[in-house]
Amino acid sequence: MAILNILEFPDPQLRKTANSVKTVDSDIQLLVKNMLETMYDAEGIGLAATQVNIHKRIIVIDISENCDEPLVFINPKIEVIDHTLHEHQEGCLSVPGYYEEVERPSSVKVVALNEQGKPFELITEDLLSVCIQHEVDHLNGKLFVDYISVLKRNRIKQKLQKERRQD
Ligand code: QAP
Ligand code: CO
């Protein structure tokens, strides 16, 4: 297994649209394993393939207390079930150290393939719903900082660039 490098905002690679997975073969299964290992190592609750510079429609999530309930979504499609907007504080492994309130539909249904290539669907709310919407945004080149003001976004961009220059 391997820990993959996580791209950081404002890397232009984070703006690419990911491609659908044609077949869930052993290469994809290895990528899923490595994405999970990378997410756990970074103490994240969600990671999209885009964030590790692989432009395939794959997401891993684990919102469980003990970090032992991995969820894998390949070619996820979301449909809003409850359009009521809920505000939630979001962070992102690609925007380390910054957290902002974002409003999203409160409940979504997700249809996807699992790591065996088998279709499944899940109706989600609360943190899982936020997390899935956040991760699907990554596959479409969108980041949570796109929902906040330009002023705040630019401030975060400049601070992250400055921190990296110092490393
Ligand atoms: C997306 O984000 C998410 O800044 C997943 O220093 C976040 O796993 C969805 C992380 C919140 C819903 C609510 C962020 C780790 C992890 C950081 C993450 C950091 C270390 C973010
Ligand atoms: Co993110």
* Known catalytic residue at 135: yes
Instruction: List pLDDT tens digits, range 37-61.
Output: 999 999 999 999 999 999 999 999 9
Rounded to two decimals, the pTM is 0.98
- The sheet with strand 119-125 has its strands ordered as 46-48, 58-61, 71-90, 100-113, 119-125
How far does the centroid of ligand 2 lie from the alpha carbon of residue 135, in Å? Answer: 6
pLDDT band of 19, cuts 50, 70, 90: very high
Integer Cα distance of 38 and 5 in angstroms = 8
User: Does the beta carbon of 6 lie inside 6 Å of ligand 1?
Assistant: no
Instruction: List pLDDT tens digits, range 140-165.
Output: 999 999 999 999 999 999 999 999 99
Q: Are residues 40 and 57 in contact, defined by beta-carbon separation less than 8 angstroms?
A: no
The pLDDT assigned to 167 comes to 86
* Burial category of 39 from C-beta neighbours within 10 Å (exposed 0-12, middle 13-18, buried 19 and up): buried
Instruction: List pLDDT tens digits, range 60-82.
Output: 999 999 999 999 999 999 999 99
DSSP code for 55: -
**What would the mean pLDDT of 117-124 be, rounded to a whole number?**
98
The pLDDT assigned to 83 comes to 98
User: Does the beta carbon of 93 lie inside 6 Å of ligand 1?
Assistant: yes
